[in-house]
């Protein structure tokens, strides 16, 4: 009688997969300099080269995020695939190539016209489709490879590589387009990032996929059962509240700081670099804290820092660039902590069987589609609130600053959802939060390199 096929990788295969996922993360970081929705480089390309109106730049992120609807429907395709590993790799290559085709838009459809903008948005939607249709399988692949005992540290190390390469890519890219603000400058940066993205796909092609990911099967009627799992349901409430704020805020960062405040690409490069460097600094110790104290107390501190950041927007002006630089640098702390603690909380809420890919699709699909809807709502709000000004405590708040104050208040309300999450460790909330304060994050930095 033949022995059943093992659902997990051998020790040697798993170690190889962990190493290759780290290499892929490094290349993914360089690619994310342009691959992240609504980033400064792509927004600058749309504004400067394509001549897109600033009220429409929120659509850049919306197109990529709205493509996440494919995460809900991806199983109509993936359930019938014999080689899911190859599908993930082809989708990754398609994501990069669709972005690269955007460089041809001004030559084929002109500049400053509506048609060029529509075609570019269409290419972003296709790139996002390739990203999201394979995302549940990729997430299931990674979550099945990473052992629970090192989850926080490994995810921290992986994000460390991603953020490190993204920092270098973004800083260099913004310096290039600041001195060469034409199609040639943007083309050089976008082409280099696309090559890095393809290199990441090539590295991932050598990683073995566990059978539990190859055999994952999820049907449309199974979506109803997803909401019966209490821990997962509470996780969804938390991320929906958190990402509602992000969906309203993130897609208009570039417009606010470039058009409203009047910062240069070089100045944006400095605050992005400061943000990413501090994010790098907290990733490894953040992973250790999650492994030791659990993710819940870390998420409490994260949400409080996010609220503080958004509530500081009324004080941002061109003459206070030092304050913008300080605020953006400090918000690197919650960004780093959330990536580790939020991902660990998600993995902790997932079932251990082959249906985990379906749960990942629901979690990621709901948040990403919400991120796509948010910019559309903000676009309507900006048109309605043009010329609107409110004086609060001696501060004059126009439409952008009012928006970010609202997001800050929403972040504070998210603490209610955090309180209902189950911690990833069996530690009482008050004791864990007190331990987090005693740990003094930056005293842990020397330990993070051991």
The predicted pLDDT at position 355 comes to 65
The predicted pLDDT at position 213 comes to 61
Element (H, E) at 342: helix 332-349
Percent of the chain with pLDDT over 70: 85
The answer as to whether 38 is a domain residue is: yes
* Pick from 194, 24, 183: nearest CA to 97: 194
The answer as to whether 203 is a domain residue is: yes
Q: What is the pLDDT of residues 431-445, one digit of tens each?
A: 555 655 665 554 544
Q: What is the pLDDT of residues 112-155, one digit of tens each?
A: 767 888 899 899 899 988 888 888 788 878 877 888 777 777 87
The predicted pLDDT at position 199 comes to 94
Residue 352, CA distances (Å) to 38, 41, 131, 149 in order:
34, 39, 24, 15
Asked whether the predicted pLDDT for residue 378 surpasses 80, the reply is yes
Q: What is the pLDDT of residues 411-435, one digit of tens each?
A: 999 999 998 888 877 655 565 556 5
Structural domain for 237, as ranges? 13-449
- Identify the residue with better confidence: 450 or 349: 349
Percent of the chain with pLDDT over 90: 17
Asked whether the predicted pLDDT for residue 211 surpasses 90, the reply is no
The answer as to whether 111 is a domain residue is: yes
- Identify the residue with better confidence: 96 or 40: 96
The answer as to whether 296 is a domain residue is: yes
Asked whether the predicted pLDDT for residue 302 surpasses 90, the reply is yes
The predicted pLDDT at position 449 comes to 35
Asked whether the predicted pLDDT for residue 447 surpasses 50, the reply is no
Asked whether the predicted pLDDT for residue 2 surpasses 60, the reply is no
DSSP for 214-280 reads HT----GGGHHHHTT-HHHHHHHHHHHHHHHHHHHHGGGHHHIIIIII---HHHHHHHHHHHHHHHH
The answer as to whether 402 is a domain residue is: yes
- Which region among 35-49, 190-204, 325-339 has the lowest average model confidence (pLDDT)? 35-49
Q: What is the pLDDT of residues 230-240, one digit of tens each?
A: 888 898 999 99
Structurally, the chain folds into a number of domains equal to: 1
The predicted pLDDT at position 305 comes to 94
Average pLDDT over the chain reads: 81
CA 262, chain centre distance (Å)? 26
| Domain containing residue 186: CATH number | 1.20.1250.20
Residue 39, CA distances (Å) to 197, 207, 272, 310, 325 in order:
16, 29, 10, 18, 17
The answer as to whether 100 is a domain residue is: yes
Q: How far apart are CA 109 and CA 115, in angstroms?
A: 7
Element (H, E) at 392: strand 389-392
Q: What is the pLDDT of residues 237-287, one digit of tens each?
A: 999 999 888 888 887 787 788 778 888 877 887 888 888 888 888 878 887
The predicted pLDDT at position 448 comes to 37
CA quadruple 119, 124, 125, 128: dihedral, nearest 10: 160
The predicted pLDDT at position 360 comes to 73
Asked whether the predicted pLDDT for residue 191 surpasses 50, the reply is yes
The answer as to whether 18 is a domain residue is: yes
The answer as to whether 7 is a domain residue is: no
Asked whether the predicted pLDDT for residue 357 surpasses 80, the reply is no
Range 380-397 average pLDDT: 78
Range 85-104 average pLDDT: 91
């Amino acid at each position: 009688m033949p022995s059943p096929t093992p659902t997990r990788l051998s020790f040697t295969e798993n170690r190889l997969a962990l190493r290759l996922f780290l290499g892929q993360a490094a290349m993914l970081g360089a690619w994310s300099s342009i691959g992240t929705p609504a980033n400064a480089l792509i927004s600058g390309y749309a504004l400067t080269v394509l001549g897109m109106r600033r009220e429409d730049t929120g659509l850049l992120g919306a197109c990529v995020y709205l493509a996440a609807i494919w995460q809900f429907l991806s199983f109509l395709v993936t359930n019938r695939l014999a080689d899911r590993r190859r599908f993930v790799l082809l989708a990754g290559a398609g994501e990069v190539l669709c972005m690269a085709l955007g460089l041809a838009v001004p030559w084929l459809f002109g500049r400053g016209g509506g048609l060029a903008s529509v075609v570019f948005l269409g290419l972003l939607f296709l790139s996002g489709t390739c990203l999201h249709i394979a995302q549940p399988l990729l997430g299931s692949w990674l979550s099945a490879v990473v052992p629970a005992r090192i989850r926080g540290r490994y995810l921290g190390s992986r994000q460390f590589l991603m953020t490190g390469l993204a920092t270098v890519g973004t800083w260099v890219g913004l310096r290039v387009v600041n001195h060469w603000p034409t199609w040639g400058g943007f083309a050089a940066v976008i082409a280099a990032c696309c090559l890095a993205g393809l290199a990441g796909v090539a590295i991932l092609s050598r990683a073995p996929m566990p059978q539990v990911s190859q055999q994952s099967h999820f049907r449309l009627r199974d979506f109803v059962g997803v909401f019966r799992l209490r821990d997962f349901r509470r996780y969804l409430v938390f991320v929906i509240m958190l990402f509602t704020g992000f969906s309203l805020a993130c897609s208009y960062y570039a417009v606010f700081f470039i058009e409203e405040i009047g910062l240069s690409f070089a100045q944006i490069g400095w605050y992005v670099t400061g943000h990413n460097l501090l994010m790098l600094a907290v990733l490894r110790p953040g992973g250790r804290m999650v492994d030791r104290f659990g993710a819940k107390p870390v998420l409490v501190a994260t949400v409080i820092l996010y609220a503080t950041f958004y509530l500081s927007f009324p004080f941002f002006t061109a003459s206070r660039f030092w304050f913008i630089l300080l605020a953006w640098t400090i918000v690197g702390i919650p960004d780093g902590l959330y990536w580790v603690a939020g991902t660990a909380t998600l993995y902790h809420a997932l079932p251990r069987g082959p249906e985990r890919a379906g749960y990942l699709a629901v979690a990621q699909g709901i948040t990403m589609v919400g991120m796509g809807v948010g910019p559309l709502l903000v676009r309507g709000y900006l048109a309605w609130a043009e010329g609107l000004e409110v004086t609060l405590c001696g501060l004059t708040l126009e439409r952008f600053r009012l928006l970010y104050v609202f997001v800050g208040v929403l972040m504070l309300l998210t603490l209610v959802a955090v309180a209902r999450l189950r911690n990833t460790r069996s530690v009482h909330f008050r004791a864990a939060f007190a331990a987090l304060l005693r740990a003094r994050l930056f005293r842990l930095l020397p330990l993070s390199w051991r």
